[in-house]
Copies of this chain bind each other. A is one copy, B any other.
């Protein structure tokens, strides 16, 4: 036991330090997503690379290959599993249901199109390429189809926000589509995990059982989501009795862990439970603080997750599937560009706008990795296909951002008949603060102000301070970087935003004036000044 624990602690130490440093280098020096740095860290230190070097003092290597389906020990993998639950719980919490419902027309068309086409293409290329994959319902083909559906719009949101395009019709449609994308992707995963379990144990296509599993998955998802959404406000109200956001956030996370375990027990994937609890809580007033309070464990666990995923990449196993990897990646890209672009074209965007939306749906992230990890640990896909999933993710992360930036150059993406309102004219209010703590404080004051005015405030990205602030037709974005806050708004709402800011500032000044006078009941004034200059109090 002691040896196991020593190895675990050393593994975590090496993982954390490498992940954090490479993540930083990728983000700040190479201008690439941090996730890529963390994945690369895993590939470098993992059991298929440096991690296999024999260390005499350890009587073995730091990352020895255990006798399980996975190349890491159960003790270490436990941290990756908890991390995946944190990731999906957070994704659920960040779900912007109101936007989705509001823009569900266009958004759901675009999201659904992307999921369906990329699923079909991902499955089909697998069937066509591999001789041992006989039909569309083959477990491996189904899994690779599911793998290609997941979108991660974090990168898109960041790029659009930097270019002040997040409130553009394309930006809003992408974010709405991403919600549907997540929901359908996760239900699809639930169904496929169930189907695969049945299929691997028998011959032919047991349509009856597949139907039952699909119904069970859908049923579990629907029932737990509905119960969740109904119970969540009451739960939030009861949790608030603890009067401690630490308590509330960690107990909520405890529920997410519990429903994750439960979904696994009924034959679905763990992350479904985590997502459902997050989704249910996303509409309560504890969602925001829960997310903020969980940031600490998020920042600790999530790099560990991506690094462990990188460690599972077996370069030797990938050699034989490089060509397939390229074909599969192309299929996955085509699935999103055409699957999302065509519905967008139908919904009133011109070709430029449709390409923008397709490009925005390209990036992949944690969900792709989690699905790949589930496939690997359950034996449905081998290390070669895990490598293919990583290839697709890397390609999307590298290609999508510059492509997205390029498509967003030039004029409106709306077709002419919709051009009555020019959505391109956005005013920006920039604020510089003397320090980040000050900026953080004022940002929270402002967001509270918006919430009090019954705006719905939605944080777009877990680690970046980018917010969508919305009520009816009004859409405002707030973006904080270090000690700078910039607020984007349409010209007609600028006056309202400035007034709100002024209110908050005046409020603060009022309070400080009170504090100032409160602090000097008997001490401030002449007495104090005399004291400062060494004159003892009471003279004169």
Task: Enumerate chain A interface residues (CB-CB to B < 8 A).
Answer: 1-2, 4-10, 12-14, 16-17, 20-21, 24, 57-58, 68-70, 74-79, 81-82, 85, 242, 244, 246-247, 250-251, 253-258, 260-262, 264-265, 270, 293-297, 299-300, 303, 377-378, 429, 431, 433-434, 437-438, 441-442, 444, 494-496, 498-499, 501-502, 505-506, 508-509, 511-513, 515-516, 518-520, 523-524, 527-528, 531-532, 537
Contacts and interface: CB of A to CB of B under 8 A. Distances in A.
16 contacts: A1-B69, A4-B74, A5-B270, A9-B260, A9-B261, A13-B258, A16-B250, A16-B254, A20-B250, A296-B297, A429-B519, A495-B523, A495-B528, A498-B520, A499-B528, A508-B508
A501 B519 contact: yes
Contact of A14 (B258, B296, B444): B258
A264 B502 contact: no
Contacts of A58: 265
Contacts of A431: 515, 518-519
B511 A509 contact: no
A20 B251 contact: yes
Contacts of A438: 511
Copies of this chain present in the complex amount to: 2
Instruction: Tell me which of A76, A244, A513 has the highest count of chain B C-beta atoms within 10 A of its own C-beta.
Output: A244
A532 B296 contact: no
Contact of A516 (B76, B82, B502): B502
Given A16-B253, A250-B299, 12 more contacts: A1-B77, A6-B270, A9-B270, A10-B258, A13-B258, A13-B261, A78-B79, A442-B515, A494-B523, A499-B532, A501-B519, A502-B520
Given A1-B77, A14-B258, A265 B57 contact: yes
Nearest to A430: B518
Contacts of A499: 528, 532
A75 B75 CA distance: 4
A49 B54 CA distance: 43
Contacts of A433: 511
Nearest to A292: B296
A449 to B, nearest CB: 13
Contact of A10 (B261, B494, B511): B261
A496 B534 CA distance: 12
Instruction: Tell me which of A7, A10, A537 has the highest count of chain B C-beta atoms within 10 A of its own C-beta.
Output: A10
A407 to B, nearest CB: 31
A309 to B, nearest CB: 15
Contacts of A246: 299
Contacts of A76: 78
Contact of A296 (B85, B254, B293, B520): B293
Contacts of A512: 505, 508-509, 512
Contacts of A21: 251
B531 A502 contact: no
A77 B505 CA distance: 50
A262 B81 CA distance: 26
A33 to B, nearest CB: 16
Contact of A297 (B258, B297, B441, B495): B297
Contacts of A68: 1
Contacts of A2: 264, 377-378
Contacts of A4: 74, 78
